[in-house]
Structure 1
Amino acid sequence: MTHYRCGVRTRPALVAATAAALALVLASCTPSDGDDPAPSGSTSSGTPDAQSAPDGFEDYYTQELDWEQCGAGYECTTAEAPVDWGDADSGTIELGLKRLPATGDKQGSLLVNPGGPGASGITFVTDARSVFGQPLQEAFDIVGFDPRGVGESAPVVCLDDADKDAALSEDFSDDQAGIDALEESLKEWADACEENTGDQLAHVDTQSAARDMDMLRSALGDEELNYLGFSYGTQLGATYAGLFPETAGRLVLDGAIDTTLTSDEISAEQAVGFENALRAYVEDCQSGADCPLTGDVDAGMEQIHDLLERAYDDPLPTDSDRDLTQTLMFYGIALPLYSQGNWPLLTEAVDEAVTQGTGSTFLYLADFYNDREPDGSFSTNSSEAFRAINCLDDAGNPDMDFMEEQAAEIEAAAPTMGEFFTYNGLTCWDWPYAAVDQEFDLAAAGAPPIVVVGTTNDPATPYVWAEGLADTLDSGVLVTYDGEGHTAYGSSNSCVSDAVEGYLVDGDVPEDGLTC
């Protein structure tokens, strides 16, 4: 049986962090508080400048940000942005920001984004001391913000917790009745977003978020934007460079999305990315002792496929009052593939399902992926923002003949994971707002060097996307990490760290084609 999904969120550091946190929970360990305070400073690195503002939006560009302490050496504030960057009289929304002030001779601000779309930059910066190297912490105020529609920035609001829980757990058959049921489920979600979010739902696209970033650059007092974006954050950064090449500073885009691809192409290539990552996991598992997957890699992949089919036919019981559906098992498989260090969690989940016939560990992993709390509430609106932003950026091809043909191609290329990436065009079929027109230059002509980092077996943003983005950008410089997992900076080796930090701090452009 087939499920229809629009792909998975690209959330590098956050997914890795939650999976690592889950490992601590399962091991009954307690992480340190990490509350060593950093020096605090509330002054901007310069003066906001109205000259770079679009006509009618000068007040946004020159606003003063009132930073306040918000724990352990961090500072928080809010900034005002227009609802619609095409209409200065459209009203305002608030954007939430958090920063870790520079500990050394400050060069300015470094804006960061962890991915998604839908991941919180505020949460990301809360982990800044463990994510970013000392050279970055010394040289920059590291600033995270929740993009519009996300978290503390005019969030998209849709279903209540119970209905959201049901929607994220539901399985659908591969016949017409299943397609009809899926379409009805997606329409209920879309209708709830429109009712509970209002007109601002039409303005949470990536181009609007990139325009917010330029306004934040000015409000922070920086003449140029220095930026480190991961995963979806690379799309946001490339969009910024295409809109504002004259104020683009040093940009690093890690775990790249190829901005020339359609959402349908992204889903198809993501399916292969996760299939390849799963194969690498199976091979690694079978090379050690006590792997629950027997035989060769093909046999191991078939056993995981059989587990997924079993969960569809008869959801697995867990240690809670919830059963593990096939959809939830998929999330539980996908999450550990973001980081090789979390593969043992996948082995634990597979072993439990094979030997005990239960799915508790898979359910824990799925809940971490979906930000679901034990009480049934959700700690973020990442799922809502993910769909809202993607539907405005590219709604996909809604032609059923096209979707059926592509589904067959995807499942042939990715026999185990592919079915979860099919029928992308249904996701935005009943979305209340049309996708926005592209207004940025894909090549970002005139921008300084933009460093693009790709990992050779990245499941969520396949390496070919990094190659594609680096080729598309006039000033793209490709750095390759030869390894496993989603994104490279902070989770790979000193070669990558030196290349990223050397460029952001000192302006040393890595050799194009550098392989680490």
Structure 2
Amino acid sequence: MDTSRLLRTTGTVIAAAGLLLSGCTSGGSGSTAASATPGTSGGSASPSPSAESAALRPYYEQKLTWRDCGVAGFQCSTMRAPLDYAKPGSGQDVDIAVARRAATGPGKRLGSLVVNPGGPGGSGIGYLQAYAGIGYPAPVRAQYDMVSFDPRGVDRSDPVECLDGPAMDTYTQVDQTPDDQAERDRLVAAFKEFAAGCQARSQRVLPHVSTVDAARDMDLLRAALGDRKLTYVGASYGTLLGATYADLFPGRVGRLVLDGAMDPSRSSLDLNRDQTAGFETAFTSFAKDCVKQPECPLGGGSPEAVGERLKEFFTKLDAQPVPSGDPARPLGESLATTGVIAALYDKGAWPQLREALGAAMNGDGASLLALADSYYEREPDGKYANLMFANAAVNCLDQPPAFSGPAAVDSALPSFQKASPVFGTGFAWASLNCTYWPVKATGTAKALTAKGAPPIVVVGTTRDPATPYKWAQALAGQLDSGTLLTYDGDGHTAYGQGSDCIDTSINRYLLEGRAPEAGKKC
């Protein structure tokens, strides 16, 4: 259920990397340009009065009070932002949770490096404390304060809430490949129940959790941190957040890395269909590798044959789920599909996926269910993080829905099935989730140019399942100063995923301001 438009990093710890040159190839003959020097603390970091309304000035001039987070080495704070940027100072604010880890030194401090793990709905603070703040390359952490925040509507920042744990358990098991009218009706009813739960529990914040709102919050954060320019690494959906910021505030852009890029000019329908094709590409890579292993649970032969066998297994689960160790949650088709998708984000999870599929095909669904639970951020006690709630809230506000109703899904099914014979049907029906959303979309698909910004590095992986490579190509082309850095490989996002070439290029940009040559490939 809802296995599309969730765009976040894999959760893999980013390995430290030095600045050694590695064997990258460079395409094209573009020259390397230096970006603006990152803002350092001190001086007047907030905009001039002419740039912002008087009502916004108190937000820009606020000072952060730091306290111990309870996690060694990290400090936390809370920032105020107007609930509605059209009515700042009205007394209706949101509290934005912020965390940092101070630069470790030695060397000159370059200011703050704000990171975002994607989603929408991923906790920036959780990502900072578990990965970025301790796993980013040591030279980067030495010279930057590592900073992140939970965007409005996410986790610690006025979170969107929709369903309790038992209701979410039911929701995630609803059949997303309906075979008859009764199953179609149950799927539509599930989407309506989810939307109604969000409205009932989160009515205050639902109209104000768009990507534009979060980007404006990020500019408040830049000022509160004392930085003249924003230095930022955004992964997955975080690339849309970063590109939106650059388009709104091109003069305040420092060094921006957008890794696993989205294409903001694509409609919701096109984004979902593109992502469907992306997961098919990733599955094909997995299938090619699987048949080379001594015990591939999906047999041998071509990727197409492997895909057919996986579809047959899903069909069996649709008719008869297998035990998972949780009597209330046997492994049916929906949860099994989600488990497979979760593992396709990261090539390092392929052995785990083979093992989980083998066990499930032999009647034990526990391992594949665990992969699905990791995707949904479900805890062992049955509680869910608010990831899926915030994800829907942001996506449904950022763009009009992909479909007007079930009949529109029927019309689009052939194109989704062509994009992915394995996942197409489920992804098409999952794209119906915003159709019944209680708040009308405030955004629309459009190109983002950030005219006048210094060089922005856009990173694309050629076989990325969640953010297809063509999206990175498109975003780099739209941005007035975009430069594309390509990783020829598998998995979602590239920085810190094992390529010295990618890591060296990004480290050099963050530390020295030298963007990679246009068309550089690793």
TM-score normalised according to structure 1 size:
0.91
Give the drift of 1:5.
Answer: 4.2
Matched, 1:110 2:110: no
Q: Is the Cα contact below 8 Å between 1:48 and 1:63 reproduced in 2?
A: no
Identity between Structure 1 and Structure 2 (%): 42
Alignment partner, residue 4 of structure 2? 7
Query: What SS does structure 2 have at the residue aligned with 1:416?
Result: coil
Q: Is the Cα contact below 8 Å between 1:6 and 1:423 reproduced in 2?
A: no
1:278 aligned to 270, 275, 283, which one? 283
In 2, Cα distance between equivalents of 1:370 and 1:440: 29
Q: Which runs of 5+ in 2 are unaligned?
A: 15-39
Give the drift of 1:439.
Answer: 10
Give the drift of 1:17.
Answer: 5.7
Query: What SS does structure 1 have at the residue aligned with 2:119?
Result: coil
Amino acid at match of 1:193: C
Give the drift of 1:492.
Answer: 3.0
Query: What SS does structure 1 have at the residue aligned with 2:7?
Result: coil
Matched, 1:511 2:514: no
Matches within 5 A, 1:226-237: 226-237=231-242
Matched, 1:247 2:248: no
Amino acid at match of 2:102: P
Q: Which runs of 5+ in 1 are unaligned?
A: 19-42
Matches within 5 A, 1:317-396: 317-321=323-327, 322-354=329-361, 356-378=362-384, 380-396=385-401
The two structures, once aligned, show a CA RMSD in angstroms of 1.9
Give the drift of 1:484.
Answer: 0.4
Amino acid at match of 1:247: R
Matches within 5 A, 1:157-172: 157-172=161-176
Give the drift of 1:232.
Answer: 0.1
Give the drift of 1:111.
Answer: 0.8
Alignment partner, residue 26 of structure 1? none
Give the drift of 1:46.
Answer: 5.0
Matches within 5 A, 1:322-471: 322-354=329-361, 356-378=362-384, 380-400=385-405, 401-423=407-429, 426-437=432-443, 442-471=448-477
Q: Is the Cα contact below 8 Å between 1:308 and 1:329 reproduced in 2?
A: yes
Distance of aligned partners of 1:440 and 1:137 in 2 relative to their CA distance in 1, 3 Å threshold: farther
Alignment partner, residue 147 of structure 1? 151
Amino acid at match of 1:102: A
Query: What SS does structure 2 have at the residue aligned with 1:81?
Result: strand
Alignment partner, residue 62 of structure 1? 61
Amino acid at match of 1:302: E
Query: What SS does structure 1 have at the residue aligned with 2:146?
Result: strand
Q: Deviations over 1:461-481 (max 9, x none)?
A: 011110011111111100000
Give the drift of 1:366.
Answer: 0.7
Give the drift of 1:320.
Answer: 2.6
Query: What SS does structure 2 have at the residue aligned with 1:87?
Result: coil
Give the drift of 1:394.
Answer: 1.0
Give the drift of 1:295.
Answer: 2.5
Distance of aligned partners of 1:149 and 1:369 in 2 relative to their CA distance in 1, 3 Å threshold: same
Between 259-268 and 416-425, report the one with greater CA deviation.
416-425
| Number of residues of Structure 1 aligned to a counterpart in Structure 2 | 486
1:491 aligned to 482, 494, 497, which one? 497
Query: What SS does structure 1 have at the residue aligned with 2:166?
Result: helix
Query: What SS does structure 2 have at the residue aligned with 1:137?
Result: helix
TM-score normalised according to structure 2 size:
0.90
Q: Is the Cα contact below 8 Å between 1:410 and 1:418 reproduced in 2?
A: yes
In 2, Cα distance between equivalents of 1:205 and 1:103: 34
Distance of aligned partners of 1:279 and 1:84 in 2 relative to their CA distance in 1, 3 Å threshold: same
Alignment partner, residue 121 of structure 1? 124
Alignment partner, residue 96 of structure 1? 97
In 1, Cα distance between equivalents of 2:364 and 2:123: 33
Distance of aligned partners of 1:50 and 1:479 in 2 relative to their CA distance in 1, 3 Å threshold: closer
In 1, Cα distance between equivalents of 2:232 and 2:170: 37
Distance of aligned partners of 1:288 and 1:426 in 2 relative to their CA distance in 1, 3 Å threshold: closer
In 2, Cα distance between equivalents of 1:428 and 1:463: 25
